[in-house]
């Protein structure tokens, strides 16, 4: 494809101009011909059929009519002002309504002129109308352009208000296709097109915009999905191969006495087979001489933390430093407290570093770290500050990686002349297709087995009016010596509504569970870190029975005696977050419960979330449903990845195609990693045209 013409700003397309170009760029992020060409319809409607107004009662909600506007007037005042028209054909009359009127709209509509009208029928108290109809002047040219399927493009209220309707947008696409018709080049080799019976690229792009039939459209979409997946997988898999070739890692030649001592003498339980398998995968990477870049995923409670600690022991046993970066100070301190006893026995110097650490302590830590006196440093984003220098950082572990941006994470890589080995961990299971499409350049390990004794958590959905029953249940659990979390939603720490909900809830529980018989802790983001740590410690030591909190306890907090999780306003949480919160209980020997508290009014999506949580404890099933509901850009921080240029592929419904194309790419690269074979020259050319040269650090995700 001729990149020069595709990079032309859209203001130079007939029908656009500077003002409309500015508007389209602001609303749809379309700035050049290429952006416009790949702005595909999100649905199609059949515009070959015309109905009569008298048939309206017997047809579906979308209708196409031919007739005239006989009357047009503004009614109402202020914010309720609207434009009302009377549309007639030989069989009857129906009302047209525009709820937001403007001068351009009024001036553009001509009375007693024949229009082709398309719109959705609205039925309000038995009176039918068509709100915001599409209108097109009736003439031979407009009729001849009709195809069996008509694309509906993504739009915004502001575009429609400024006259850039779907009809106008369609005309711009038609102008573009005429202008660049001969510049659409093939980007897949003939042997792939022939083997998989793919439509050629030029025809498929035109067809998606102007399909002549449903069958032709299906073939065109399949072709575009194929190439989209193909080049995404080529980029990811080549990136992985090149990283291993170009980026040398510190070779950890032995497993080390620290690891052996811990495994033989300090580990108080048997590792699961899944944990053993993952440790072997990590060990192999660390000894390969290439820099490790591995993603470790597993459900809540699957034992990722102990795998991370044992990986750090390998680095320390080989004479290197290790660090663990966590998203919250609470989690940093918890890891520190969990590992401190083992580290003392193993003669390992472990320290913490967070944003709230005192200046004198920070100075001491930084100096010791630079001299190599600290073996293991656990902390928050404070680890990536420019003045934090390691003597020889061998392994960097990122806990709950999606809480950190790409730029934040990459700062850790630059702490050494050679980049450290990287272990990225997440307790949010990632659907297979999403993992291949976002993290396909990483090596992956999955702990797909829960430790013995991990309890199934009984999940119950209740509305607010069942609170008395819940209070009685909770008192009974506390009488048995158990503890409970009560979590309130939090969008931003500064949101007054969230803070008010939390404090009101705390006061309500304080009335239901009065002192001195009951003790309640509270933890939220407005507290200073010393107070937070104090309250958390009281709960850990069972000095308080109830912890009222925001989502700061979402990740990693491990208190085996807590058996009840109450999530208030559960409809305001995403599925993944609900599952993470639920995972705070069920960590001990006692049966555990999660209560999802909502109001009576819920959206369709929130109902699905509640049903999913009640029906399963399986994080991978939940992750699939979360992907289906929210899309890939909103989970796992994939909007930061820069590796999700998917315009037509659906990561749920296109699983088989993704797997098929990935296998093809693996086969091609296994035989011709540099794409030097003449049969692959078109692939190489396409990659060079679309991917700018990267420096070595960008091969580390």
How far is it, in rounded angstroms, from Cα 573 to Cα 566? 13
- What is the mean pLDDT of the segment spanning 482-490? 89
Token digits for 305? 């933390």
Is the pLDDT confidence value at 406 over 60?
Answer: no
- What is the mean pLDDT of the segment spanning 624-644? 58
Query: Cβ(568)–Cβ(432) under 8 Å?
Result: no
Query: Cβ(262)–Cβ(313) under 8 Å?
Result: yes
Query: Cβ(401)–Cβ(427) under 8 Å?
Result: no
Task: Give me Rg for the CA atoms of the chain.
Answer: 30
- What is the mean pLDDT of the segment spanning 376-397? 87
The DSSP secondary-structure symbol of 9 reads: B
Is the pLDDT confidence value at 643 over 70?
Answer: no
Tokens 């061998």 locate to 394
Residue 222 or residue 465, greater confidence: 222
Query: Cβ(413)–Cβ(241) under 8 Å?
Result: no
Q: Predicted confidence band at 637 (pLDDT cuts at 50, 70, 90)?
A: very low
How far is it, in rounded angstroms, from Cα 700 to Cα 672? 22
* DSSP-derived secondary structure for 388-409: ---SSEEEEEEESGGGS-HHHH
pLDDT for position 636: 43
pLDDT for position 642: 41
Residue 243 or residue 615, greater confidence: 615
pLDDT for position 303: 86
Q: Show Cβ contacts of residue 651 under 8 Å, excluding neighbours closer than 6 positions.
A: 431, 433, 434, 437, 627, 632, 658
91 conformational bin, left if phi > 0, alpha if psi -120 to 50, beta if neither: alpha
Residue 329 or residue 28, greater confidence: 28
Is the pLDDT confidence value at 424 over 50?
Answer: yes
- What is the mean pLDDT of the segment spanning 240-249? 80
Highest-pLDDT range among 406-415, 540-549, 684-693: 540-549
Degrees, nearest 5: CA angle 175-180-186? 140
Query: Cβ(186)–Cβ(47) under 8 Å?
Result: no
- What is the mean pLDDT of the segment spanning 33-43? 91
pLDDT for position 499: 60
pLDDT for position 382: 83
Q: Give the predicted TM-score (pTM) of the model.
A: 0.69
pLDDT for position 60: 58
Instruction: Tell me which of 112-121, 353-362, 376-385, 642-651 is least confident.
Output: 642-651
Query: Cβ(322)–Cβ(393) under 8 Å?
Result: yes
Is the pLDDT confidence value at 493 over 60?
Answer: no
pLDDT for position 697: 38
pLDDT for position 401: 57
Residue 135 or residue 48, greater confidence: 135
How far is it, in rounded angstroms, from Cα 114 to Cα 89? 9
How far is it, in rounded angstroms, from Cα 14 to Cα 24? 14
Residue 552 or residue 528, greater confidence: 528
Is the pLDDT confidence value at 377 over 90?
Answer: yes
Strand arrangement, sheet containing 443-447: 350-353, 376-379, 321-325, 393-399, 421-426, 293-298, 443-447
Q: Predicted confidence band at 700 (pLDDT cuts at 50, 70, 90)?
A: very low
Is the pLDDT confidence value at 123 over 90?
Answer: no
How far is it, in rounded angstroms, from Cα 486 to Cα 566? 5
Q: Predicted confidence band at 638 (pLDDT cuts at 50, 70, 90)?
A: very low
Is the pLDDT confidence value at 556 over 70?
Answer: no
Sketch out the chain's domains with CATH numbers. Answer: 1-48+147-183 (no CATH), 54-139 (2.40.50.140), 185-246+665-672+681-701 (no CATH), 257-447 (3.40.50.300), 457-634 (3.40.50.300)
3-state DSSP assignment of residue 136: strand
Q: Which residues of 584-603 are buried (b: 16+ CB within 10 A; e: fewer)?
A: bbbbbebebbbbbbbeeebe
pLDDT for position 555: 55
How far is it, in rounded angstroms, from Cα 257 to Cα 268? 18
Is the pLDDT confidence value at 245 over 50?
Answer: yes
Is the pLDDT confidence value at 283 over 80?
Answer: yes
**N- to C-terminal Cα distance for the chain?**
30
Q: Shortest CA distance to 586 belongs to which of 206, 355, 301? A: 301
Residue 64, strand partner residues? 118
378 membership: H or E segment, kind and range = strand 376-379
Token digits for 544? 């308080």
Query: Cβ(113)–Cβ(139) under 8 Å?
Result: no
pLDDT for position 631: 64
Token digits for 623? 């992750």
Q: Shortest CA distance to 385 belongs to which of 299, 308, 325? A: 325
Q: Long-range contacts for 268-272 (Cβ within 8 Å, ≥24 apart)?
A: 269/451, 270/452, 271/303, 271/306, 272/302, 272/303, 272/447, 272/449, 272/450, 272/451, 272/452
- What is the mean pLDDT of the segment spanning 535-554? 85
Query: Cβ(380)–Cβ(308) under 8 Å?
Result: no
Is the pLDDT confidence value at 474 over 90?
Answer: yes
Q: Predicted confidence band at 77 (pLDDT cuts at 50, 70, 90)?
A: confident
Instruction: Tell me which of 201-205, 263-267, 424-428, 578-582 is least confident.
Output: 424-428
Query: Cβ(66)–Cβ(108) under 8 Å?
Result: no
- What is the mean pLDDT of the segment spanning 413-439? 76
- What is the mean pLDDT of the segment spanning 381-391? 82
- What is the mean pLDDT of the segment spanning 383-397? 86
pLDDT for position 143: 67
How far is it, in rounded angstroms, from Cα 634 to Cα 498? 22
- What is the mean pLDDT of the segment spanning 128-148? 77
Tokens 């070779």 locate to 251
pLDDT for position 293: 85
Residue 116, strand partner residues? 66, 136
* DSSP-derived secondary structure for 243-263: HHHH-B-----S--HHHHHII
Proportion of the chain above pLDDT 70, given as a percent: 88
pLDDT for position 157: 85
Residue 620 or residue 97, greater confidence: 97
Integer angstrom CA distances of residue 374 from 102, 343, 349, 371, 664? 69, 11, 5, 8, 47
Query: Cβ(486)–Cβ(566) under 8 Å?
Result: yes
* DSSP-derived secondary structure for 277-338: HHHHHHHHHHTSSBPPEEEEEE-TTS-HHHHHHHHHHHHHHTT-EEEEE-SSHHHHHHHHHH
pLDDT for position 676: 92
Degrees, nearest 5: CA angle 187-188-193? 140
pLDDT for position 496: 58
How far is it, in rounded angstroms, from Cα 305 to Cα 324? 10
Is the pLDDT confidence value at 622 over 80?
Answer: yes
Highest-pLDDT range among 128-142, 596-610, 631-645: 596-610
Residue 58 or residue 295, greater confidence: 295
* DSSP-derived secondary structure for 457-506: EEEEEEEGGGHHHHHHHHHHHHHTT-EEEEE---S-TT-HHHHHHHHHHH
Q: Shortest CA distance to 388 belongs to which of 425, 352, 421, 418? A: 352
Integer angstrom CA distances of residue 622 from 305, 511, 585, 613? 22, 36, 17, 8
pLDDT tens per residue across span 304-358: 889 999 999 999 999 999 999 988 887 888 889 889 999 999 999 999 998 888 8
Is the pLDDT confidence value at 122 over 50?
Answer: yes
Integer angstrom CA distances of residue 217 from 143, 205, 210, 211, 228? 21, 10, 9, 6, 16
Q: Show Cβ contacts of residue 325 under 8 Å, excluding neighbours closer than 6 positions.
A: 379, 380, 381, 383, 384, 396, 397, 398, 399, 404, 412
């Amino acid at each position: 494809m001729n990149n020069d013409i595709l990079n032309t700003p859209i203001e130079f397309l007939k029908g656009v101009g500077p003002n409309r170009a500015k508007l389209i760029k602001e609303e749809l992020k379309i700035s050049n011909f290429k952006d416009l060409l790949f702005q595909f319809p999100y649905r199609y409607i059949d515009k070959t059929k015309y109905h009569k107004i008298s048939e309206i009662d017997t047809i579906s909600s979308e209708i196409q009519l031919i007739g005239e506007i006989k009357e047009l007037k503004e009614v109402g005042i202020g914010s309720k002002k609207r434009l009302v028209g009377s549309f007639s054909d030989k069989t009857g009359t129906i009302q047209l309504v525009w709820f937001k009127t403007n001068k351009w709209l009024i001036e553009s509509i001509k009375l007693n002129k024949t229009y082709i009208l398309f719109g959705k029928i609205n039925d309000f108290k038995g009176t039918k109308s068509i709100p915001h109809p599409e209108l097109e002047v009736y003439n031979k040219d407009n009729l001849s352009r009709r195809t069996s399927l008509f694309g509906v493009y993504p739009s915004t209220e502001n575009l429609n208000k400024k006259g850039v309707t779907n009809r106008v947008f369609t005309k711009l696409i038609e102008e573009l296709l005429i202008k660049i018709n001969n510049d659409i080049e093939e980007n897949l080799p003939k042997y792939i097109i022939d083997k998989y019976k793919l439509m050629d690229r030029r025809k498929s792009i035109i067809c998606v915009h102007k399909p002549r039939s449903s069958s032709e459209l299906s073939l065109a979409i399949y072709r575009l999905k194929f190439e989209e997946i193909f080049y995404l997988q080529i980029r990811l898999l080549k990136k992985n191969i090149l990283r291993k070739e170009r980026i040398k890692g510190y070779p950890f030649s032995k497993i080390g006495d620290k690891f052996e001592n811990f495994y033989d003498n300090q580990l108080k339980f048997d590792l699961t087979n899944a944990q053993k398998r993952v440790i072997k995968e990590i060990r192999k990477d660390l000894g390969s001489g290439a820099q490790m870049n591995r993603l470790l995923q597993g459900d809540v409670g699957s034992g990722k933390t102990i795998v991370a600690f044992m990986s750090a022991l390998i680095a320390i046993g080989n004479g290197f430093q290790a660090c663990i970066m966590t998203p919250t100070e609470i989690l940093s301190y918890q890891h520190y407290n969990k590992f401190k006893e083992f580290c003392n026995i193993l003669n390992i110097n472990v320290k913490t570093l967070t944003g709230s650490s005192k200046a004198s302590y920070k100075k001491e830590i930084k100096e010791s770290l630079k001299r190599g006196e600290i073996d293991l440093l656990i902390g928050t984003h404070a680890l990536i500050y420019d003045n934090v220098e390691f003597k020889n950082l061998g392994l960097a572990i990122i806990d709950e990686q999606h809480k950190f941006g790409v730029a934040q994470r990459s700062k850790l890589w630059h702490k050494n002349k050679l980049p450290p080995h990287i272990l990225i961990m997440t307790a949010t299971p990632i659907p297979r297709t999403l993992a291949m499409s976002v993290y396909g350049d990483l090596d992956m390990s999955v702990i797909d087995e829960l430790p013995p004794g991990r309890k199934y958590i009984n999940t119950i959905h209740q509305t607010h009016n069942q609170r008395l029953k819940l209070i009685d249940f909770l008192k009974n659990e506390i009488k048995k010596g158990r503890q409970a979390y009560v979590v309130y939603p939090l969008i931003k720490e500064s949101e007054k509504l969230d803070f008010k909900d939390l404090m009101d809830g705390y006061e309500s529980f304080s009335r239901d569970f009065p002192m001195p018989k009951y003790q309640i802790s509270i933890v939220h983001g407005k507290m200073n870190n010393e107070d937070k740590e104090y309250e958390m410690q009281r709960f850990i030591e069972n000095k308080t029975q109830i912890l009222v909190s925001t989502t700061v306890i979402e990740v990693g907090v491990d208190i085996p005696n807590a058996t009840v999780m109450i999530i208030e306003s559960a409809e305001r949480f995403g599925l993944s977050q609900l599952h993470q919160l639920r995972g705070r209980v069920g960590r001990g020997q006692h049966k555990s419960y999660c209560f999802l508290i909502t109001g009576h009014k819920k959206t369709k999506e929130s109902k699905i979330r509640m049903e999913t949580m009640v029906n399963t404890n399986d994080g991978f099933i939940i992750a699939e449903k979360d992907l289906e509901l929210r899309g890939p850009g909103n989970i796992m921080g994939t909007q930061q990845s820069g590796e999700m240029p998917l315009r037509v592929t659906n990561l749920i419904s296109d699983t088989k195609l993704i797997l098929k194309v990935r296998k093809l790419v693996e086969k091609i690269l296994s035989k011709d990693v540099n794409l030097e074979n003449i049969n692959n020259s078109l692939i190489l050319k396409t990659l060079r045209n679309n991917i700018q040269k990267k420096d070595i650090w960008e091969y580390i995700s």
